[in-house]
Amino acid sequence: MEEFLNQLKEDFDEVSYEFETISIKVNVENWISSHELLRDKFDLKYFSWLSAIDWDNEVSVGDAPKEEVTPSFEIVTCLSSVDNSNLITISTTIAKDESVIPSLVGVYVGANWHEREAFEMFGIDFEGHPNLTKLYLPDGYEGNPMLKSFELISREVKPWPGDVDVEGMPEDSEGDDS
Amino acid sequence: MVNTIDPRNIPGISEASVSVEIETEDMTLNIGPQHPSTHGVLRLVAKVDGEKVYNVEPVLGYMHRGYEKLAEVRTYPQITTLVNRIDWVAGFSNEIPFIAGAERLMEIEVPERAKQIRLILTEMARICSHFVFNGAYALEVGALTPIFYAMEDRERVLDLIESVTGGRFHPNFNRIGGVKPAAGSGPTTKKNIQDLPAGFYRDTKLAMEKVIEAADKFQNLIGGNEVFHKRTKNVGILPKETAEAFGVSGPILRASGVKSDLRTQTDYLPYDKFDFDIPVGENGDCYDRWDVRTKEMVESAKIVLQAIDDMPSGPLQAKVPKVIKVPAGRTYVRAENPKGEMGYYIVSEGGLGPYRLKVRTASFSNVSILPVMLEGALLPDLIAIMGSLDFVLGDVDR
């Protein structure tokens, strides 16, 4: 693991190892070339998944990020090797108003469906994708459900916590847990 | 008197009718979404030229429940109820990588005993999943009998899961820091820590011996059937390189000759304590995929038998705060589920719930290979190939 990490540090500037997960950050210009390098030089031929994170301060679902963030999309892919336990996640950040990124289908064919999912869920445009159409959502569906600004109807109709959920916490007298 | 001409008497006509090129028009064939062999609601739009399939487009989304979005408005302990329902054939296995991810971010050391109970139950879930596959796949290629045996034998294992967790399919048994006190083992008080139900070891031993017997029975009943051989051997061959690039995992990848198993490659559960083989196929055809899964049932049963012989004692729960807040950070935890690699990418901002939860499911990547595998296949092989991938639509759509 140490050795693999050091090898990665030679080729990439931003490599971190936290919570047993290696994360690499690259610029969007190097998105394709980094993946080619990881596939060929580091033998990470197994394409696990691709997805995106919507970073925004104004959220309609869940909690907002603790610190102020620049509204942007973070695209994350996960690559690994079938022969050993090497696994990395690699990410890049793109602006929200110009959410275009080159498609990885040329490097890993398996990225096809993952990119289609990110396209419909976040509205990210994957340049050069052979068939960038909706994967799950029906024709005529408007909006991108995974955006933080997209409201979750069930929570709008019935706010949380509802009546059932406002039970008190367990009695403190029972134990000495912190 | 009517003069009739017998066409057979016209010279050369019988030869002519044979040598004429039969041209068929291309046809679009719609399969599903409500079709028993689609394991849920998968729809395939196949373009066929006679008996040959030359293009298949899977249409997804009939089972999409938006769990990634729902997870953003739930607390960590609540999410286990959601993830149970992803791959409902092996509900217990879905909880493991999620809980392990939350524990990793919180830096909680799980007690050995809790880990081993998780391991036993997740192996039982694998056995259940492979039982369903054995029954359903035989049914899909035309054998009616095995599913009755499979369901009967699976019931014994499900009963065991139920006796511990209280649920057959959606146990919701894992807690951050350990496992829930077992069902049916007395009242919940702190001083009297509940554990596995009475007679669990004895029943497990019996059930696992039955599983090994059943796998043997399937090797004869299904594997010894010539029709099954003809339907599955050299059908739907998947080369190793294609499997890797598409992110295909689990028994399908191993059937293509890749000895890759996350149980030995990663340490999400203490598998290194036990002896077991990783069955690997040679040709990567439908038969190998069936064979690998059937052999895996025996290996899983062996793991469970070893695990109940060597149960560590101790608590079922680590000390955790009453209100679970996961510190900011991100991690990816993957596990070898019955259908392949399942993982959760948790992005935490330090709140009660995750900021983003990416669910990586095995069936999604496994099904994405269908267009490649079915190109050029014969129509009768379509169901045989599709069935051999052993997917569940809840696992594809999430």
Query: Which among B323, B334, B358 has CB closest to A51?
Result: B358
- Which of the residue ranges B39-53, B177-191, B211-225 would you say has the lowest mean pLDDT? B177-191
Distance from the Cα of B333 to chain A's closest Cα (Å) equals 8
Residue A25 counted as domain residue: yes
More confident residue, B2 or B221: B221
Residue A119 counted as domain residue: yes
Query: CA torsion, points A58, A62, A65, A66, in degrees to nearest 10?
Result: 120
Mutation for testing the B interface, residue in A25, A46, A72, A77 having most B CBs under 10 Å: A46
Question: Would you say B273 and B310 are in contact if contact means Cβ atoms under 8 Å apart?
Answer: yes
pLDDT for residue B12: 57
pLDDT for residue A173: 47
Q: What is the pLDDT of residues B202-232, one digit of tens each?
A: 889 999 999 999 999 899 888 888 888 888 8
Q: Is B349 on the interface with A (CB under 8 A)?
A: yes
pLDDT for residue B375: 85
| Long-range contacts (CB closer than 8 Å, 24 or more residues apart) made by A130-137 | A130/A105, A132/A103, A134/B61, A135/B60, A135/B61, A136/B60, A136/B61, A136/B64, A136/B397, A137/B61, A137/B64
Share above pLDDT 70 across residues of chain A, in percent, rounded to a whole number: 88
B17, pLDDT greater than 60: no
Share above pLDDT 70 across residues of chain B, in percent, rounded to a whole number: 90
Closest-CA residue of chain B to A21? B331
- The pLDDT-based confidence of B300 (bands split at 50, 70, 90) is very high
Question: Which CATH number is A37's domain given?
Answer: 3.30.460.80
Query: Which residues in chain B have Cβ-Cβ distances shorter than 8 Å to A135?
Result: 60-61
* Whole-complex ipTM: 0.85
The domain spans of chain B are: 36-186+197-397
For B43-70, what is the mean pLDDT?
Answer: 86
- Per residue, the 3-state secondary structure of B179-219, as one string, reads ECCCCCCCCCCCCCCCCCCCCHHHHHHHHHHHHHHHHHHHH
Return the half-sphere exposure (C-beta side, CA atoms, 13 A cut-off) of residue B208: 26
- According to CATH, the topology of domain B36-186+197-397 is Cytochrome-c3 Hydrogenase; chain B (1.10.645)
Share above pLDDT 90 across residues of chain B, in percent, rounded to a whole number: 14
Residue A126 counted as domain residue: yes
Residue A176 counted as domain residue: no
Q: How far apart are CA B358 and CA B361, in angstroms?
A: 10
Using CA atoms, how far residue B132 sits from B87, B118, B144, B169, in Å, is 13, 21, 13, 13
A76, pLDDT greater than 90: yes
Residue A77 counted as domain residue: yes
List, as ranges, residues 132-191 from B with C-beta within 8 Å of A.
190
Return the half-sphere exposure (C-beta side, CA atoms, 13 A cut-off) of residue A22: 22
Instruction: Please state whether the predicted TM-score (pTM) of the whole model is above 0.80.
Output: yes
* Residues spanned by the domain of A7: 2-167
Domain count, chain A: 1
For residue B38, give every residue at least 6 positions away whose Cβ sits within 8 Å of its Cβ, in sequence order, or none. B31, B32, B44, B386, B393
Cβ–Cβ gap A61/B72 under 8 Å:
yes
Closest-CA residue of chain B to A108? B245
Cβ–Cβ gap A145/B332 under 8 Å:
no
A141, pLDDT greater than 70: yes
Query: Which residues in chain B have Cβ-Cβ distances shorter than 8 Å to A62?
Result: 72-73, 351, 353, 355
Cβ–Cβ gap B350/A66 under 8 Å:
yes
- The pLDDT-based confidence of A178 (bands split at 50, 70, 90) is very low
B192, pLDDT greater than 60: no
Residue A175 counted as domain residue: no
